[in-house]
Structure 1
């Protein structure tokens, strides 16, 4: 009798677990909420406020990231940027994590591979609001030397190679559109460079008066060809030579 009662009890627990467990705990994305379930009610009717709060946080984060998508240069003038970086460039104080005391000679190829982000992304990949664009002049100027006008090496800024290629293309496009100045080396031209008295740019001398059976070049008659080489050439071009030659 007791065995049959235990089997009936187990069957009832499997069919309707809400009978014996009116209070259940649900863990949603790291947050635990306790929902009071009335008897004989399925647990799917419990609503947790943590889900709605998480959705609001995710929507707010997405909105903040897309706020500077169309105008990325506005981020460098915002209070958020000033609080985070101040007057320093975005790569100031960045140090890549690496093994040993000697840093690698090249930066990593990319910081984001698919949905995976490395542990210490580069100064551009770590901030979603820092967008490389040819009109984002203030950002591009942070990666250009004010003395030489060349782009800083990625080993100095810590930028990955993928973002370094984007920076180089954006700087070249900005210079072509006139957003960034570039230096042209000064060359001092003298009057001799434009003179036509030089033999290379002067008038062509007249042809010398040649007598009959006289070569144009005097040194051409002094050359004695090798008989073996002449035989090879005659054999090679035998089909194209005139008879008697």
Structure 2
């Protein structure tokens, strides 16, 4: 039986569209708030539900041809409006933003035992995000947001004393103390008087 053209239209499609628009607006609003304060995302329920207590790069595996992974990660995951297949852990989630104040995110890429930054082949970050990560970590360390260890070296007092042969006063050469010339053949050379006169005439204005 065909529906009558005079019956009232169904509002289910309009309701679904309105709900979709509302969800999209809320997602865009949350993303804009995380751009201003990216560290809030790591404390949100959305992040805990998605990653739990694991770092963002845990379990990530890059798509590649063959069974042997490449020695270097890709240069970038996003080229203009095109996103590559299986982007890196940072590019795949637009809410994870690398910032020098986002300390919890930066600590996930630093070894707690050595304090060194993980290699991108281990975390899967593209080279563009890895460069941002290194700059953010260095900035955070300079501003005291991230702690790092400096090797401690003990110095003895002898290393800074003036009595050490390497830093002590150098004695005068014996030739100057005895009155002899520096080289023995200096005394054997007798300059030509005419050549000496020419030199004195040339530099007469500079000689006192």
Residue deviations 1:64-113 (CA, integer Å, cap 9, x gap):
21121111111111110010000000000000000000000000011111
The answer for the alignment partner of 2:165 in structure 1 is: 199
How many Å separate the matches in 2 of 1:74 and 1:217? 78
TM-score, structure 2 as length reference: 0.77
Take 1:165 and 1:217, find their aligned partners in 2: how far apart are those partners?
60
Query: Is residue 2:111 matched to residue 1:145?
Result: yes
Is 1:210–1:216's contact at 8 Å kept on the other side of the alignment?
no
The worse-fitting range, judged by mean Cα deviation, of 139-148 and 51-60 is 51-60
Distance in 2 (CA, whole Å) between partners of 1:96 and 1:109 is: 13
Note the residue ranges of structure 1 that are not aligned, 5 or more in a row: 1-35, 38-47, 223-240
Shift of 1:55: 4.0
Aligned to 1:175: 141
Pair 1:63-2:29 in alignment: yes
How do residues 86-165 of structure 1 correspond to structure 2 at under 5 angstroms? 86-165=52-131
More strand by share: 1
Q: How far off its partner does 1:163 sit?
A: 0.5
Q: CA deviation at 1:54?
A: 5.0
**Residue correspondences, number:** 177
Q: What SS does the aligned partner of 1:171 have? A: helix
Q: Is residue 209 of structure 1 aligned with residue 177 of structure 2?
A: yes
Whichever of the two has the greater Rg, that structure is 1
Q: Which runs of 5+ in 2 are unaligned?
A: 7-12, 187-197, 201-208
1:84 is aligned to: 50
Is the Cα contact below 8 Å between 1:96 and 1:120 reproduced in 2?
Answer: yes
Q: Is the 8 Å Cα contact of residues 72 and 129 (structure 1) preserved in structure 2?
A: yes
Greater length-normalized contact order (CA 8 Å, ≥ 6 residues apart): 2
RMSD: 2.4
